[in-house]
Amino acid sequence: MRLRDQVAIVTGGGRGIGETIALRFAAEGAAITVAGTGREHLEATAGRIRERGGRALVSVTDVSDEAAVEAMVQATVGVLGHVDILVNNAGVSGPTAPVGAVALAEWNETLGVNLTGAFLCAKHVLPLLIAQRSGRVINIASVAGVSGYPLRSPYAASKWGMIGLTRTWALEAGEAGVTVNAIAPGPVTGPRIEQSIRRRAEHSGASEDEVRRGFLEPTALRRFVEAEDVAAAAVFLASGEARNITGETVSVSSGFHL
């Protein structure tokens, strides 16, 4: 129970990586606010936590809306007592297209959720962690934030930006004993990577099998990552075992390289 008596906010907590992190944190003893835009999925995640004896709060929150984020944080403190951990996981894939075909609205939406959303959550959580002189922020970035990612300009820019925020916030919060780190997953099994494969195949003219091989070949282990692998890294970074790790980006990518 490495997170006993801790309270964590997990954005994008209703599905995929966010859901898996929320469940793993709860299994380690944390109470969880699961936040996102899809109530049905959030309620399902919270229900699974409660069935296993944990505490969970559902917050239907658009992280690109500052008033909604502020209300989410206030509700967490009001119901669960405090905040110890923030996991900035909420994100959208954005368009798959060459830069000349990306609409400004698509750019703004992707950056608004992926990057501005992380900023707004940190804006309203980090001061609480600094005041209590303890806490963790974990940003779910991507290997797209450390390398080029053709046909995905908005997504790549948002993840590069998230890593920059990680390093900056680590310096701002370090004196108070608060750590800020990022996790950069490689391609993760599930509906999102399958959607990316389909879209890339449509734009490139390659078959889906060829695109899938294109994701696998740059990995040393020649396999996709599982959401559980990312959640395991998040548990470690949230725990006392990682108390002297901050400002870092941990790659969970099956050895993805270019």
**Residues known to be catalytic:** 155
Q: Which residue has the tokens 């505490």?
A: 55
Encoded tokens for 135: 């806490």
Encoded tokens for 39: 């109530």
Residue 198 and residue 218: Cα distance in Å, rounded? 19
Residue 182 and residue 203: Cα distance in Å, rounded? 30
Residue 22 and residue 13: Cα distance in Å, rounded? 6
Pairing of strands 7-11, 136-140: unpaired
Helices (H), the chain: 16-27, 39-51, 66-80, 104-111, 117-132, 153-173, 191-204, 208-216, 227-238
What residues contact 216, with CB distance under 8 A and at least 6 apart?
187, 222, 223, 224
Residue 68 and residue 46: Cα distance in Å, rounded? 19
Secondary structure letter of residue 244 according to DSSP:
T
Which candidate, 169, 98, 182, places its Cα nearest to that of 142? 182
Residues 96 and 151: beta-carbon distance below 8 Å: yes
